[in-house]
Amino acid sequence: MAREDREHCKPDAKLTADISLVGTVDEAMACKLRDALADAESGDGPLTIDMTTLGGDPEMARRMIVEVDAARERLKGRRLVFVGKTVVYSAGCTFMAAFPPEDRYLTADATLLIHCRQLKQTMELDGPIRSHLPKLEAMIHQLETGIDLEKENFERLIEGTEVPMDELLEKALYNWYVSAEEAVERKLVAGIV
């Protein structure tokens, strides 16, 4: 990347985070974020949240989005900014969707991993056929709900970007690894810090 391109990508967000989230997206990370956002005060400068994660629980990532949305309302006038560092995989990308593309940044070494929700489950059907229908219907309902939640989050992730939903759905089936430069080109993020 040429020097003038790097200068163009510099955000008004700072690389040093006010809140740093490192590790698995889980209950502990959600609680850390909730508590840190509760302590945040209104101000002029951006509130920067950085993240490095190999992924985790998508439901905890959805809860973290609720916390960011609530903080945005409470801290009216203060910009909340996301900075992805090194790796932002899976549930980390779910969380990144809490921020509009103009408030998302990555470090130059960062890689995003966007994929579909995962399920690993074995069902054993043994016995009268009729007794299996409720189990199968429950599984279908679980799958349909998961697909709806996935689509809802994907819509938020790509809103205002140059990534159409049909492309995202296709690439996400097979693990879409996105470099920082590609993320900028596709407008998934505003720039590289």
Q: Which domains does the chain have, with CATH numbers?
A: 3-192 (3.90.226.10)
Helix (H) or strand (E) holding 84: strand 80-89
Per-residue confidence band for 3, with pLDDT thresholds at 50, 70 and 90: very low
- The model carries a pTM of 0.86
H helices then E strands: how many in the chain? 7, 7
HSE-CB at 8 with a 13 A cutoff on CA atoms is: 8
Spatial separation of the C-alpha atoms in residues 180 and 108, rounded to whole Å = 6
Segment 162-190 mean pLDDT: 97
pLDDT of residue 7: 38
**Cβ-based burial of 164 (10 A; exposed 0-12, middle 13-18, buried ≥19):** exposed
* Segment among 10-14, 100-104, 117-121 with least mean pLDDT: 10-14
